[in-house]
Amino acid sequence: MIIDLSQIQHEPKTFYLWLPEEWWEQDVPGDQIQGLYQPVDACLTIARLGKRFMVRGNLRTVLMLQCDRCMELFGRELEGEFHLFLEPVQKKQDEEEEVELAGEEMGIDLIPGEEVELEQIIKEQIYLSIPMKTLCKDDCLGLCPVCGANRNIKKCSCHLTQGHPAFQELRKLL
Ligand SMILES: [Zn+2]
Ligand SMILES: [Zn+2]
């Protein structure tokens, strides 16, 4: 949903979004977020504050995450509120990078022109909501580095400390 911000004058406007599971597309393979288990339900209110716009919203979904340790997929409920500022700017091509950095520091998203895509805001907020490390559970045992078994499910009998580390690397290649 693309919103023309010039339409928002004295009265704030509220938008409702419902994004099906298929909406989510991975930016990079191996991303922590593998998809959605439930559609995104979101509501955003945009108000004009001088030359800026204040966005307040909330969203609800269930993320499909990949555990950093055991690589299994698991669901995590996400329900939260957020707010951010948008500032439309007219900028020259070569200034682009500098302007973006300055904006990030102040917690303001600079956008080219007066149009904003709400799906993009939702996507950013979803990325901001996940931790650096995603674990299916705090005490996830991860994969055995020797045989690759998921140690949450199966106890293997590999001896992890045996041999020179170089041989273990070699075994991985074989
Ligand atoms: Zn895990
Ligand atoms: Zn093993």
CA of residue 136 to ligand 2 center, whole Å: 20
Ligand approaching nearest to the C-alpha of 148: 2
CA of residue 72 to ligand 1 center, whole Å: 6
Ligand approaching nearest to the C-alpha of 154: 2
CA of residue 32 to ligand 1 center, whole Å: 12
CA of residue 35 to ligand 2 center, whole Å: 29
Overall average pLDDT of the 126-150 stretch:
93
One-character DSSP codes across 72-108: -EEEEEEEEEEEEEEEEE---GGGHHHHHHHHHHTTE
CA of residue 151 to ligand 2 center, whole Å: 8
Strand order in the sheet with 73-89: 13-19, 33-49, 52-66, 73-89, 108-112
CA of residue 141 to ligand 2 center, whole Å: 12
Residue 165 confidence (pLDDT):
60
For residue 150, with 0-12 CB atoms within 10 Å meaning exposed, 13-18 middle and 19 or more buried, which class applies?
middle
pLDDT tens digits for range 51-105: 899 999 999 999 999 999 999 999 999 999 999 999 998 765 555 555 555 555 5
Residue 26 confidence (pLDDT):
79
- In contact, 121 and 84? CB cutoff 8 Å: yes
Residue 139 confidence (pLDDT):
95
Residue 34 has pLDDT above 70, yes or no: yes
